[in-house]
Structure 1
Amino acid sequence: MNPAEKYILDSPEPFRSILVYLKTLIEQEVPNTALLYKWNLPFYYIGKKQPFCYLNHTKGYVDMVFWHGAHLTQYKNHLISDGRKHMKSLRYYTLEEVDEKIVVEILKEAYAVKDKKYYK
């Protein structure tokens, strides 16, 4: 088992269930992903070179953070920046809060904008 999978499976509930579900959605919807362990977090890369998103549980919730989140235009009211200029995240406290339709649509949009650069 790689360290990223270990992070997910060793997470306490309810985080484990949320992380496993998000992992499944990412792997179903985003082609050519590689689950790596970077910065002590499960991090998805496109083709092992291009950062796409990462998963994190902290302070009572799970964050699904999109590397190019500044370029996302759908469901802005669901995306959280927490002072980050470039990255945006979906935040979940319970598995029941995860709306598969929204996650899938944001994953598709994030994949479509993955090659854009962020300039301020």
Structure 2
Amino acid sequence: MNPIQEYFYRIDEPARSILLFLRKKILESDPENITETLSFGLPFFKFKKKMLCYLYYSKKHQKHYISFYHGDQLNHPLLISEGRKKFKILLFDENEDLPLELILSLTKEVKQYIK
């Protein structure tokens, strides 16, 4: 297993399946330009080798989240900055439906700021 796969397999179910599904959908959304790396021990997604978003777990909120680079440019009521300058996070609950369409639309919007 590579380090990125190891990261996901250390997470308990059902969160692991949700994160793996999200990972797959993000990578499939633009397979020629979106890549993944492990940076700071976290799975990062990059668009044309520039930071796009990453996945992590918030101890404060007890939920997993996706953090968007250029989040300061994004305006959506579910996004939280919590003092971050360039990032905003979107928390998601493993017991609720994943807001996949919202996540993919936000990644698409962030890509516009990268170009």
Normalising to structure 1: TM-score of the pair? 0.82
The count of residues paired between Structure 1 and Structure 2 equals 112
Matched, 1:65 2:67: yes
| CA positional deviation for 1:110 | 1.3
Matched with 1:37 is: 38
62-71 or 5-14: bigger deviation: 5-14
CA deviation string 1:58-110 (max 9, x = no partner)? 4221110011111123xx11111121121011111215331222112111111
Cα 1:79–1:30 change in 2 (3 A) is farther
Cα 1:64–1:46 change in 2 (3 A) is same
Report 1 or 2 for greater relative contact order, CA contacts < 8 Å, sequence distance ≥ 6: 1
Question: Structure 1 unaligned runs (5+)?
Answer: 116-120
Matched with 2:24 is: 24
Matched with 1:118 is: none
- Letter of the structure 2 residue corresponding to residue 15 of structure 1: A
Runs ≥4 in structure 1, deviation > 3 angstroms? Answer: none
Normalising to structure 2: TM-score of the pair? 0.85
17-26 or 33-42: bigger deviation: 17-26
82-91 or 2-11: bigger deviation: 2-11
CA deviation string 1:37-70 (max 9, x = no partner)? 10010111123x3111111124221110011111
**Contact preservation (8 Å) 2:55, 2:67:** yes
- Letter of the structure 1 residue corresponding to residue 46 of structure 2: Y
Give me the CA root mean square deviation: 1.7
CA distance in 1 between partners of 2:71 and 2:30 (Å) = 16
Question: Structure 2 unaligned runs (5+)?
Answer: none
Aligned sequence identity (%): 33
**Contact preservation (8 Å) 1:30, 1:111:** no
